[in-house]
A and B are shown apart, each in its own frame.
Chain A
Amino acid sequence: MKELSGGKELYGMVIDLDKCTGCGACAVACMAENNLSFREDETDKLRTNTWMRLYRLNNGQHFPGTRVAYLPRPCMHCQHTPCVSVCPVNATQLDEKGIVSQIYPRCIGCRYCVAACPYHARYFHWWDPVYPKGLENYLNPDVSLAMRGVVNKCTFCNHRYQRAKDKAFLEERRDLKEGEYITACSEACPTRAIIFGNLKDPNSQVFRLSKSPRTFRLLEKLGSQPKVYYLTSQDWIRRQGDNYLKNEAARKVS
């Protein structure tokens, strides 16, 4: 992976699709943590706002050979970012710990980044954020709400990083321990399929898992270097994660 900074931290995620049951806990935890708003008709998936989106994959075989699998898709927090390079106002940046940020007051709503993102991980607020009556009461004060006319996306729960850092500072530590900073989705996952941590820490679980022979990354051939790794033992899932020529073999699990 291209070294962007000499820092000790580079956050990333590993999602084990062999363990993912598609329960949706990650998506719900994300919506609750990050104050995502609602629309009356949420079945129009082009307009609904879900930073963590659950895709249902299917091996295409007929009964009884069919298998489905679920693929939770947060922002990939690419290390070589297609979105940052097109932003005319510096509203989105790759910070030194590997998180692709989004700063709402800077965003002018040009949506270049939405077009540039190959993962459909960016959402644009065409409308004012609304919540069913009464639900403004549970909004998280650590996360600012995206207003109308700006792009928003998964932040790897950056506010939790700040909280963890504050706590470490009070305890006179400079570095975070493993598990002190994790995203809401990874915390909620009942099967522990989503693991989050520091990719530069050789003792961390994400470091170890990201080197697993079962890993693949979405659209890896684009060279965007996502920091979200998926694990699977199924070749058909791996094939759907990238564009392959008809006769080209996907890298097999060794």
Chain B
Amino acid sequence: MAIDRRDFLKFVVGGAVGTVLSPLPWVSMDEVAKWTQRWAPIPENGGTSYVHSTCKLCPGGCGIRIRLINQKRAVKIDGNPNHPVNRGGMCPLGLAGLQYLYQEDIRVKSPLKRIGARGKGQWKPISREEALLEVTTRLKEFRQKDLSHTVAFLDGEGEGSQAYLAARFLKAYGSPNYIRPFQLGDLEEILTQTIHGIRARVAYDLPRAQYVLSFGSALLDGWGNPAWVAQAFQGWRQDHRQGKVKLIQIDTMATTTASLADEWIAIKPGTEGILALGMAQVILEKGWYNKDSVRSKTSGLDGLQVLLNKNYTPDQVAGSTDVNKETIHKLARDFSSAQHPVALWGKGKGELPVSLFEAQAVHLLNLLAGSINRPGGVYLQPGVSYASWPKMPLDGTAQKGLAQPRLDGALSSNYPKTGHLTGRFFANAVQKKPYPINVLFINEANPVFSIDEKEVLRAIDQIPFIVSFSPFMDETASLADLILPSPTFLERWDDSYPSLGVPFPVYGLTKPVLPPLHDTLSMGEAILHIAKNLGGTVEEALPFKNMEGVLKQSAKGLYDSRKGRLTNEPLAEKGKGISASFESFDKFWEQLVAQGTWYHAENRGEEGKGRWDLSSFIRRSGEPETAETQAQYPFWMVPQSLLLLQSGYLANPPFLTKSLGKETLIKNMLVVQMHPNTAGSLSLREGDGVVISSMKKKIRARIHLFEGARPDCVFVPLGLGHKAFDPTLKNRGSNPYPMLDTVVDPATGLEVGWATRVKIKKA
């Protein structure tokens, strides 16, 4: 049959009419509309409840209130308004805490055993029992071979009952190698031991201080306990105190703190300690010091004065710090004539050690002003343990193991006062000096990111068995042999004490606010299981069924002290403590679990032993030297601490990364800040790519011109350049940690490094 023109037209027209009359176009339009509109998810609704707990994201111990939907879905973290530390305020990290809980890309969901080569990321999920058995088998083996000392534990939590448990386990097992990454508290203990004869933490009574002199501490960018400092700051800026409280910031750049301070003293990087001694010289020479306090409590004043008059006259100090004579004079006068003056040390957030010289120099100002253990001053707080645990039995193997020297050389004849030397631990592990490490446990630490990467990687190569307790697949966990993931702080029993930088005792209880999302086991629980499997004296040393039992033991100490009160209690009458309000420990525990925090708001400071020794300044004033490489490396690279950028063990959560400005990160490039004139001299413009090289490493970055930068410096934010974690953070920016030029402080053995010599080239 032939199709003529007419038939063809009929078919086309008929087809068109038919299609239009059929439901097809309407259905397909509807489908397309639905298909292109993806409606936003509707969050599950239900009954709201609030649970109190304690934030564990930093040692600050802020009280938090978690909003739950149907008692199983956490939707928001807020501050607890009755908490003595944060009073309802929160730092951005704490507010973003749920992102650590829920973000699936970063969590380790079950115990994992490595099957491929290290770092290849090939894992086999195994059961908890298998994982614990594997650890126990190894530990048993080394104990039998009298090699218990070759087991080491790197614990970034470092404080609280869980850390106490880990340290005790290692001791009972027979290893001296319980090591903590650096925290400012380590240096505080060395400082107080050299001067006051006791090992204590230094807590500043910031709320009552009236003249705060900060030597480079990023007070408003995460130094110490951010929520506590923020509470103090808002107090200083209240209308009725306006003008009565002075904040003086000594800094190399117009940082947040420098800008919001009443005065900013611009200084040459790394010379803060010299400036402090220059001030001390003026104070002593003019007789402006607190004579009663200094004469009755200190010794060695004359010797100190001789030293200062020789090396730290205002002329000499002005020459080395770039702070002029008049300013030094004025600072000395203002500091010594102020009511409640206090001087702070610890650069940036305090994540990197400063030299003991610098800490002592600044502390000297507090001594001279008579601010020790006084309201608005510095309180010396000896370490507290609320746990009155039974005496620990040690068997022969343990005693033999503990007689071995620590691998990091801390508490040895070279560095008798230093508790932990993480950097040296890894260096010695590489050289197997004096012995190799066979097992390394890592909890809440990410040394591959935050210490010199190369050295840590070499050390990790030498250690045959690494167990990580990290809840997240961080850079270090990804190199482990076995990961026994911990739950996050919202899913486990834990506690937080002492509250960092708070001059009175605070005990925060952390409890599981929702059932664990993944197959996890907290570090403390894992240790208890392992101890049970090992049996003998190790098991006897840890006579607890679970972490809740451990915490109860600590809480018992609080209850028995018959002091303090819980957060949500109405103000107790004077003299009435908790024992007055709770008839039994069980009632107390029940309320502690419900309210989250116990505290005793009475500032306490320890006087120390004997007279405070000022002569120790003379003996130990060795200031680490930096190599004279000025011609080759004409700039200083100064690390920059930001509250919105986590630089330690925790990686930045998406909320914080989202809030970073263009002066920190652009696309995948780290941004560094530089003075426009400096950039001009290098023919650089805003946004140009540069290569910054120190003697150790180089990184790529883009520059941001900032008039507030010291012209011979380049300011590099710490915390970017992760090779792990979620897509909002992974492979963004560069990590300046491995670039830092560190020098071993002869007084402490700590690797001190802040400003580093660099050269800058256009990329």
What's the minimum C-beta distance from A57 to chain B, rounded to whole angstroms?
A: 10
Looking at chain A, what size class is its interface with the partner chain? 35 or more
Contacts A31-B655, A132-B727, A190-B231: A25 and B92 contacting too (C-beta < 8 A)?
A: yes
What's the minimum C-beta distance from B556 to chain A, rounded to whole angstroms?
A: 33
Contact partner of A67 among B89, B259, B728, CB < 8 A?
B259
Q: Which residue of A lies closest to B264 (CB)?
A: A64
What's the minimum C-beta distance from B705 to chain A, rounded to whole angstroms?
A: 11
What's the minimum C-beta distance from B507 to chain A, rounded to whole angstroms?
A: 21
A128 within 8 A of B: yes
A187 CA to B42 CA, complexed, in Å: 25
Contacts A133-B104, A140-B43: A189 and B99 contacting too (C-beta < 8 A)?
A: no
B38 within 8 A of A: yes
Q: Cβ of A134 and Cβ of B104 under 8 Å apart?
A: yes
Contact partner of A69 among B107, B259, B662, CB < 8 A?
B259
B540 within 8 A of A: no
Report A1-30 residues with CB < 8 Å from chain B CB: 16, 18-19, 21-25, 27-29
Q: Cβ of A135 and Cβ of B234 under 8 Å apart?
A: no
B613 within 8 A of A: no
Report B408-463 residues with CB < 8 Å from chain A CB: none
A202 within 8 A of B: no
* Residue interface bits B54-83, CB-to-A below 8 A is 1, else 0: 000000000000000100011111110000
Which of A42-50, A73-81, A115-123 interfaces with chain B?
A42-50
Q: Cβ of B230 and Cβ of A67 under 8 Å apart?
A: no
Q: Give chain A residues whose Cβ lies under 8 Å from the Cβ of B78.
A: 29, 187-188
Report B220-234 residues with CB < 8 Å from chain A CB: 220-221, 226-227, 230-231, 233-234
Which of B270-278, B529-537, B575-583, B663-671 interfaces with chain A?
B663-671
Report B649-671 residues with CB < 8 Å from chain A CB: 654-663, 665-667
A184 CA to B266 CA, complexed, in Å: 37
B523 within 8 A of A: no
Q: Which residue of A lies closest to B89 (CB)?
A: A190
Which of A89-97, A141-149, A220-228, A243-251 interfaces with chain B?
A141-149
Q: Cβ of B654 and Cβ of A19 under 8 Å apart?
A: no
Q: Is the interface of A mostly helix, strand, loop or mixed?
A: loop
Q: Which residue of A lies closest to B96 (CB)?
A: A28
A54 CA to B657 CA, complexed, in Å: 13
A189 CA to B78 CA, complexed, in Å: 10
Q: Cβ of A28 and Cβ of B92 under 8 Å apart?
A: yes
A32 CA to B655 CA, complexed, in Å: 8
Contacts A21-B233, A58-B707, A191-B233: A136 and B43 contacting too (C-beta < 8 A)?
A: yes
Q: Give chain A residues whose Cβ lies under 8 Å from the Cβ of B258.
A: 67
Q: Cβ of A66 and Cβ of B96 under 8 Å apart?
A: no
A190 CA to B89 CA, complexed, in Å: 4
A-B contact count (CB 8 A): 208
A60 CA to B260 CA, complexed, in Å: 15
B39 within 8 A of A: yes
Q: Give chain A residues whose Cβ lies under 8 Å from the Cβ of B629.
A: none
* Residue interface bits B696-738, CB-to-A below 8 A is 1, else 0: 0000000000111111000000000000001110000000000
Q: Give chain A residues whose Cβ lies under 8 Å from the Cβ of B99.
A: 132, 135, 138
Q: Cβ of A140 and Cβ of B105 under 8 Å apart?
A: no
Q: Cβ of A29 and Cβ of B40 under 8 Å apart?
A: no
A139 within 8 A of B: yes
Q: Cβ of B259 and Cβ of A32 under 8 Å apart?
A: no
A187 CA to B660 CA, complexed, in Å: 22
What's the minimum C-beta distance from B235 to chain A, rounded to whole angstroms?
A: 9
B46 within 8 A of A: yes
* Residue interface bits A160-192, CB-to-B below 8 A is 1, else 0: 000000000000000000000000100111111
B301 within 8 A of A: no
Q: Which residue of B lies closest to A22 (CB)?
A: B256
What's the minimum C-beta distance from B658 to chain A, rounded to whole angstroms?
A: 4
Q: Cβ of A58 and Cβ of B657 under 8 Å apart?
A: no
Q: Cβ of B726 and Cβ of A132 under 8 Å apart?
A: yes
Contact partner of B256 among A21, A25, A66, A187, CB < 8 A?
A21
Contacts A128-B38, A132-B728, A141-B69: A188 and B89 contacting too (C-beta < 8 A)?
A: yes
A137 within 8 A of B: yes
Q: Which residue of A lies closest to B708 (CB)?
A: A66
Contact partner of B102 among A29, A134, A187, CB < 8 A?
A134
What's the minimum C-beta distance from A192 to chain B, rounded to whole angstroms?
A: 5
Q: Give chain A residues whose Cβ lies under 8 Å from the Cβ of B256.
A: 21-22, 68, 70
Report B41-56 residues with CB < 8 Å from chain A CB: 41-46
A129 within 8 A of B: yes
A35 within 8 A of B: yes
Q: Which residue of A lies closest to B727 (CB)?
A: A40
What's the minimum C-beta distance from A149 to chain B, rounded to whole angstroms?
A: 8
Q: Cβ of B654 and Cβ of A191 under 8 Å apart?
A: no
Q: Give chain B residues whose Cβ lies under 8 Å from the Cβ of A32.
A: 76-77, 95-96, 98, 655
Q: Cβ of B264 and Cβ of A23 under 8 Å apart?
A: no
A132 CA to B657 CA, complexed, in Å: 13
Q: Cβ of A138 and Cβ of B660 under 8 Å apart?
A: no
Q: Give chain B residues whose Cβ lies under 8 Å from the Cβ of A27.
A: 92, 655, 659
A211 within 8 A of B: no
Contact partner of A56 among B107, B661, B667, B675, CB < 8 A?
B661
Contacts A24-B643, A29-B95, A32-B98: A147 and B220 contacting too (C-beta < 8 A)?
A: no
A146 CA to B644 CA, complexed, in Å: 26
Q: Give chain A residues whose Cβ lies under 8 Å from the Cβ of B706.
A: 58, 66
B237 within 8 A of A: yes
* Residue interface bits B98-112, CB-to-A below 8 A is 1, else 0: 110111110100000
Q: Give chain A residues whose Cβ lies under 8 Å from the Cβ of B46.
A: 141
Q: Give chain B residues whose Cβ lies under 8 Å from the Cβ of A50.
A: 658-659
What's the minimum C-beta distance from B398 to chain A, rounded to whole angstroms?
A: 43
A31 CA to B73 CA, complexed, in Å: 17
A-B contact list, 25 entries, CB within 8 Å: A21-B220, A23-B226, A23-B644, A24-B656, A25-B91, A35-B43, A38-B654, A44-B667, A45-B662, A63-B708, A63-B710, A64-B710, A67-B264, A132-B728, A133-B103, A134-B103, A135-B99, A140-B43, A140-B76, A145-B41, A145-B43, A188-B79, A188-B90, A190-B234, A193-B234
Since A136-B41, A141-B45, A192-B234 are in contact, a sample of 8 more A-B pairs with Cβ atoms closer than 8 Å, ordered by chain A residue number, is A27-B92, A27-B659, A32-B77, A128-B40, A138-B76, A139-B41, A187-B79, A188-B78
- What 6 A-B pairs have minimum CB-CB distances, sorted nearest first? A66-B708, A190-B89, A145-B40, A134-B104, A190-B230, A64-B266
Residues of A within 8 A of B (CB): 16, 18-19, 21-25, 27-29, 31-33, 35, 38, 40-45, 48, 50, 54, 56, 58, 60-64, 66-70, 128-129, 132-141, 144-148, 184, 187-193
